[in-house]
Amino acid sequence: MSYIVTEDGVRLHYRTAGSGPDTVVVPNAIYLYDQFQTLAHGRTLIFFDMRNRGQSDSISDPAKLSRGIHHDVDDIETVRRHFGVDRVDLIGHSYLALVAILYAMRYPEHVNRIVQIGPPSPFFGKQYPPDQMCADAVLGDVWGQLGELQKQRESTDPIEFCRKWWAIMLRMFVADGAGVSKIADWGFCDFPNERNFMGHFMGNILPSLQALTFMPEDFAKVTAPVLTIHGRKDRNSPYGGGMEWSSLLPHARLVTVENGAHVPWIEAPEMVFGEIERFYGR
């Protein structure tokens, strides 16, 4: 396996696809590599797992995790420098879609274009009108089942518990329950980092998201074109958040996947990858 070592000594696992002149950096190699390598024609894609995720190093030192998403911003810059690329495109899904914007705010001179897929709201916890968020019966049912499963955590094998947890959670990711079978083999439970991800998310990622405060001048720093792709039935990240990103960023455009949820490229692959290709000018 191939690794990049950060300044604080963390090994980040990475994989590449393609060999074209444009370089695209994609965090979350663990589940994005298989589908997104279809974009490698004519460009070089660098997929990597963030620290304490996927096949990157497991971290026990709290100081190397305490800054949450700001570590992820730093690690994108480490990846860019490692490959000696002056300007990169970024593709970010879920909270990594917000991380991509933070990177562009800090390093605008190194960003060509950004694709956001299912980003969380720029204003943590904001409540949107009912037609801009999907609070349906599935959402309540999933949280109820996860609450019951949590009572079994101490008495259940960690891998078995993880598989049960994801069997419930994946219903949140797709608009139609039949789509769960398309993402059931992503292998989260095969890696210790992913089995333990919720502890890292709740202890480090979530507090760093909650602490963000954006001002109008922050959005103005993002000079790169942004394509925001959002499923209208996204239960994880409200569709209203995607609308807001596209209105607040100076060069952003929103693409709505009407019958898509949190992983719209699974439910509408031709539309999603077609829009990305058009955004890249090919």
For 60-64, 97-101, 149-153, 259-263, which range has the lowest pLDDT when averaged over its residues? 149-153
Indicate left, alpha or beta for 200 from its phi (over 0: left) and psi (-120 to 50: alpha).
alpha
Mean pLDDT confidence for 261-280: 96
User: Which pLDDT belongs to residue 153?
Assistant: 83
User: Which pLDDT belongs to residue 176?
Assistant: 86
Fold of 2-130+199-279: Rossmann fold (3.40.50)
In this predicted structure, the answer to whether residue 185 has a pLDDT above a threshold of 90 is no
In this predicted structure, the answer to whether residue 104 has a pLDDT above a threshold of 90 is yes
* pLDDT range class, residue 280, cuts 50, 70, 90: very high
Residues shown for the chain:
282
Cβ atoms of residues 11 and 57 within 8 Å: yes
The phi and psi torsions of 186 (rounded to 5 degrees) equal -70, -15
User: Which pLDDT belongs to residue 282?
Assistant: 64
Which parts of 186-277 are beta strand (E)?
A: 226-231, 252-257
Tens of pLDDT, residue by residue over 232-257, are 999 999 999 999 999 999 999 999 99
Please report, rounded to a whole number, the percentage of residues in the chain having pLDDT higher than 70.
Answer: 100
Structure-token match 């990169």, residue found: 88
Q: Residue 225 CB: number of other CB atoms within 10 A?
A: 17
Mean pLDDT confidence for 216-229: 97
Which parts of 81-225 are beta strand (E)?
A: 88-93, 111-117
Tens of pLDDT, residue by residue over 25-64, are 999 999 999 999 999 999 999 999 999 999 999 999 999 9
The long-range contacts involving 272-280, CB below 8 angstroms and separated by at least 24 positions, are 272/117, 272/229, 273/38, 273/39, 275/227, 275/229, 276/39, 276/91, 276/115, 276/227, 276/229, 277/39, 279/113, 279/115, 279/225, 279/227, 280/22, 280/39, 280/43, 280/89, 280/113
User: Which pLDDT belongs to residue 81?
Assistant: 98
User: Which pLDDT belongs to residue 152?
Assistant: 86
